[in-house]
Structure formats: structure tokens, C-alpha cells
Amino acid sequence: METLPAWAEWLASALILIGAIFGLIGSVGLVRLPDFMARLHAPTKNTTLGVGGVILGSIVYFSASQQGLSLHELLIAIFLFLTAPISAHLLAKAGLHLELKRVSRTRDYRDRPEQYSDRD
């Protein structure tokens, strides 16, 4: 097995560690946040960033260990970054349609639409 240059080891390790930290924050947010809409926000944002960091670390590792640029992981990232916001939007719309219970601090812009409009 071929050894990696030190810069590639450090960069790949840092990206994977940053991705793991974002994934952990998203998972903790899923458990700790009080209602559906808040729980939906934490995993979709943080876990997407976490998987993105792990994929970038993987690209750095395999590109440095092989001859040439490794872009197989890029297809995974493109698929993830296209599907995660769409699925989160559909889940949020379903939650609004079902009128799921919310904590009082969660704002519902449907209650007073004139207060949040862009009109002057």
C-alpha cells in the first residue's frame, strides 16, 4: 500500500472530521429539538454538510493515493445535494398540511400573512 503525502492525510482527515462533527450536530438536533419543523431543519442542513465533508475527504484521499483525480464520489454529492432539499420541502409541506402540533415559539407565518409580506 502506498503512503499518502502528509498534506493529503491532514486535509482528508480534517474534512472527514468536520463532516463527522456536522453529522453529530444534526443527529443531536434531531433528538433534542421540540417539534417536527425544528427537527426537520437540523438533520437536513447539518447532515447534508456532514456527508459533503466526508465525501470531500474521500475525494482528497483517493485522488492523492491514485494517479489522477477521483470523481466517483462527486456523483454521490450531486445526488445528495439535489435530493435532500426536495425531500425536506416535501416533508415540511406534509407537516403543514397535517397541521402537526408545534411549540409556541415556532412561528407560523400563515397566522398573520400581512405582517410578513414584502409589500410596503
pLDDT of residue 114: 65
Alpha-carbon Rg for the chain, nearest whole angstrom, is: 20
Write out pLDDT tens, residues 72-81. 888 888 888 8
Answer whether residue 109 is part of any domain. no
Answer whether residue 65 is part of any domain. yes
pLDDT of residue 24: 93
Answer whether residue 69 is part of any domain. yes
Name the domain count of the chain: 1
Answer whether residue 57 is part of any domain. yes
Answer whether residue 81 is part of any domain. yes
Determine the structural domain holding residue 37 and report its residue range: 6-101
Q: Which residues of the chain are under the pLDDT cut of 70?
A: 1, 107-120
pLDDT of residue 74: 86
- Please report, rounded to a whole number, the percentage of residues in the chain having pLDDT higher than 70: 86
pLDDT of residue 119: 60
Answer whether residue 115 is part of any domain. no
pLDDT of residue 57: 94
Read off the DSSP letter of residue 66: S
Answer whether residue 78 is part of any domain. yes
Say what angle helices 48-65 and 6-32 make with each other, to 10 degrees: 160
